[in-house]
């Protein structure tokens, strides 16, 4: 009986911690600054968006496997925004975390809009670079759950097939966007985006 009672107590405490963590995560998401975009046109499985020019912190990684690269890249960039810089200054987390889908991946955190490049503290780690992404038009496809290499490859192919079916020309610049912290369980959101060759007027017709 004592063992069962202890087990129920442990399960109860665990449930409270889990619920508290998820509520905190959902509340935090509402206050996180996000990479702004405008939806130009919606299709059945994807949409066309425009993004404005935006500044990112970035780190180039040697591997092209999502799990290993994302963990390493997140650790490096999180270290910088949590105070790993010459001013020991903390910088707010933003969403989503972006990763280029190349032979060597690059992870990027958007810099909050209040910062100018010249005013940002210098990273303690030399591999961290500031990267100015120009304004762009992209196609985006979304999926839920936890991302992995298989899902990323699957939705990348689905996006390519959908664009080919619509006759929309795209580049080879694909990115993964992740919107949730690893400990978030509910309402997880991921996206694959690709920069387009097609101009906005051609798409909108």
Confidence of residue 184 (pLDDT cuts 50, 70, 90): confident
pLDDT band, very low/low/confident/very high, at 129 (cuts 50, 70, 90): very high
Alpha-helix runs per DSSP H in the chain? 2-30, 66-81, 149-166, 200-204
pLDDT at 175: 98
What confidence tier does 139 reach under pLDDT thresholds 50, 70, 90? very high
pLDDT for the residue numbered 16: 46
Q: In the structure, what pLDDT confidence band is assigned to residue 78 with cuts at 50, 70 and 90?
A: very high
What would the two tokens of residue 59 be? 């780190």
β-pairing, 106-110 vs 97-100, is antiparallel
Q: Residue 26 pLDDT > 80, yes or no? A: no
Arithmetic mean of pLDDT, 142-149: 94
Do 71 and 8 lie in a common domain? no
16 and 91 belong to one structural domain:
no
Q: Is the pLDDT of residue 61 over 60?
A: yes
What is the rounded average pLDDT of the residues 38-60? 96
> CA angle, 180 as apex, 22 and 19 as ends, to 5°?
5
- β-pair type (47-51, 37-42): antiparallel
Containing 108, the helix (H) or strand (E) segment is strand 106-110
- Give how many domains the chain has, as a whole number: 2
How far does Cα 33 stand from its chain's mean position?
12
Interacting residues of 58 by C-beta distance below 8 A, sequence separation 6+:
77, 106, 107, 108, 109, 128, 129, 130, 131
The answer to whether residues 61 and 80 belong to one domain is yes
Q: Tell me, yes or no, whether 116 and 161 share the same domain.
A: yes
Residues 6 and 89 in one domain: no
Binning pLDDT at 50, 70 and 90, where does residue 159 land? very high
Same domain? 41 vs 85: yes
């Amino acid at each position: 009986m004592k063992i069962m009672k202890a087990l129920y107590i442990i399960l109860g405490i665990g449930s409270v911690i889990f619920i508290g963590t998820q509520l905190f995560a959902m509340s935090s998401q509402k206050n996180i600054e996000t990479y702004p975009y405008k939806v130009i046109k919606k299709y059945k499985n994807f949409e066309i968006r425009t993004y404005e020019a935006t500044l990112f912190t970035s780190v180039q990684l040697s591997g092209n496997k999502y799990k290993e690269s994302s963990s390493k890249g997140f650790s490096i960039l999180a270290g910088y925004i949590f105070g790993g810089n010459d001013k020991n200054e903390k910088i707010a987390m933003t969403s989503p975390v972006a990763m280029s889908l190349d032979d060597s991946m690059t992870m990027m955190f958007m810099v909050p809009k209040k910062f100018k490049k010249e005013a940002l503290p210098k990273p303690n780690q030399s591999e961290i670079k500031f990267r100015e992404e120009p304004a762009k038009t992209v196609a985006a496809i979304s999926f839920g759950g936890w991302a992995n290499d298989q899902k990323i490859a699957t939705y990348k192919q689905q996006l390519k097939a959908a664009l080919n079916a619509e006759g929309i020309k795209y580049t080879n610049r694909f990115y993964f966007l992740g919107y949730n912290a690893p400990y978030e369980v509910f309402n997880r959101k991921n996206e694959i985006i690709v920069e387009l060759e097609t101009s906005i007027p051609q798409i909108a017709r």
